[in-house]
Amino acid sequence: MLTARMSGRHSLALNENPYGPLPSVRHSLEQALASANRYPEYLPHRLARAIAARIGCSPEQIVVGAGATGVIMHILQAFVAPGRARVVMAEPIFDGYPVLTATVRGHSVMVALAADGSQDLDAMRAAVDARTGVVVLCDPHNPTGTRLRAGELTGFLDRIDTRVAVILDEAYIEFVAPDQRIDTETLLAAYPNVIVVRTFSKAFGLAGLRVGYAVADPQAAARIARWQVPFGMNILAEVGVRACYAAEDELNERIDAITSERDRVSVALRRLGYVLPDSSANHLFVPLHDPALAHRVSQAFCRAGIHVRKYSTGVRITVGDRAANQAVLTSLAEVRAAAHRLSGSVSTR
Ligand code: PMP
């Protein structure tokens, strides 16, 4: 897999940030390397305090882990219990969820997305029963980039047994304008069974450093933290996070660049005739239900050295730098033109 990614010219399969670390972040990380002979903190309390101070909650509410993936693993370890081993989630979703659910010997209950690409909360609620330990919701969703609708989340939570832990995965929330985000503190105060998960891998561009965190009610946080691995975070994690926080303005410029590219590419794809859900994340989902069309898209991307994530219903394309996005548009325009020549019209619905 690594070889395939390295040989490709445009790596758009993992929703990574196209930009390398900012010079100031890189400088801090290089300095920190001089202490690589030293252990990190036994458990990452300093990092938890830094994150808590930044987002305005108490440090007891934060659990840091090796990426959001590491944190999700600990949540599942804490809440997938005998008799409550079912984990309800949309399909498709971030691959980590079914994989980690199997790791903790849980059972994934997959609920199809609604036709518009959003999570079908009514169907998900109907899938919850006495055997459910955890429900996973993504906002924005991976792979479709859709948001949970206002009021829909609280309506859902009002009707869920409070013994069920509800993960609200906000891996891509920094790509959403601040005034459009769900207020975490208000949500957790009303629903202590909600566990918000975030990462430094996406908007912050630190995927290789593996830093993520959960924000939860202090009791739930303590239950999750029992699974933390001693000395489990590397020494660059805290340094990288602090350096990113210090460079917030520059990071925000990059986030703006990514979201405006995302919007530019979606407008262009729609002009070409592709039908896609509105994405609020750093990726676009292009539904391709016609196998012949999906094959042509796959071949065109292959020729152009573009790596994307394929699903049985379409492709997820990470928003990359301008050159990568142009390459995507060129490939999909070629496919469209060829499809017109072949049949006059090919629906992407
Ligand atoms: N949640 C979602 C929705 C994701 O898409 C991802 C990564 N693609 C993760 C969690 C995990 O991110 P990481 O482990 O890099 O923090």
The alpha carbon of 162 and the centre of ligand 1 are apart by a number of angstroms equal to 25
Tens of pLDDT, residue by residue over 225-243, are 999 999 999 999 999 999 9
Buried/exposed 85-97: b ≥16 CB within 10 Å, e otherwise: bbbbbbebbbebb
**241 and 257 housed in the same domain:** no
User: Within 10 A of 189 (CB to CB), how many other CB atoms are there?
Assistant: 11
Indicate whether 345 pLDDT > 50. Answer: no
98: helix, strand or coil: helix
111: helix, strand or coil: strand
Instruction: Mark which of 228, 245, 262 sits at the end of a domain.
Output: 245
CA gap 145, 231 in Å, rounded: 34
Kindly give the number of the ligand 1 atom that is closest to the alpha carbon of 72: 10
**61 and 192 housed in the same domain:** yes
Instruction: Mark which of 201, 223, 245 sits at the end of a domain.
Output: 245
Average pLDDT over residues 296-320: 97
Tens of pLDDT, residue by residue over 129-162, are 999 999 999 999 999 999 998 789 999 999 999 9
The answer to whether position 4 is within a domain reads: no
Structural domain harbouring 96: 23-245
Indicate whether 348 pLDDT > 70. Answer: no
Answer yes or no: is the C-beta of 199 below 6 A from any ligand 1 atom. yes
Number of domains in the chain: 2
Answer yes or no: is the C-beta of 68 below 6 A from any ligand 1 atom. yes
The answer to whether position 5 is within a domain reads: no
**164 and 256 housed in the same domain:** no
**117 and 228 housed in the same domain:** yes
CATH number at residue 298: 3.90.1150.10
Average pLDDT over residues 66-73: 98
Mean per-residue pLDDT over the chain, rounded: 94
The alpha carbon of 94 and the centre of ligand 1 are apart by a number of angstroms equal to 7
Answer yes or no: is the C-beta of 17 below 6 A from any ligand 1 atom. no
Q: How far is CA 310 from CA 35, 128, 284, 292, 334, in A?
A: 41, 29, 12, 14, 19
* pLDDT of amino acid 8: 60
Tens of pLDDT, residue by residue over 13-25, are 999 999 999 999 9
Instruction: Mark which of 212, 245, 278 sits at the end of a domain.
Output: 245
**130 and 270 housed in the same domain:** no
**266 and 304 housed in the same domain:** yes
The alpha carbon of 69 and the centre of ligand 1 are apart by a number of angstroms equal to 6
- For ligand 1, atom 1, which residue shows the shortest CA distance? 171
The answer to whether position 1 is within a domain reads: no
Indicate whether 308 pLDDT > 80. Answer: yes
**186 and 228 housed in the same domain:** yes
Confidence tier at 6 by pLDDT (50, 70, 90): very low
Q: How far is CA 316 from CA 20, 34, 253, 297, in A?
A: 22, 39, 24, 12
172: helix, strand or coil: coil
Average pLDDT over residues 288-315: 96
Stated pTM of the model: 0.95
The answer to whether position 218 is within a domain reads: yes
158: helix, strand or coil: helix
The answer to whether position 341 is within a domain reads: yes
285 within 8 A of 144, measured Cβ to Cβ = yes
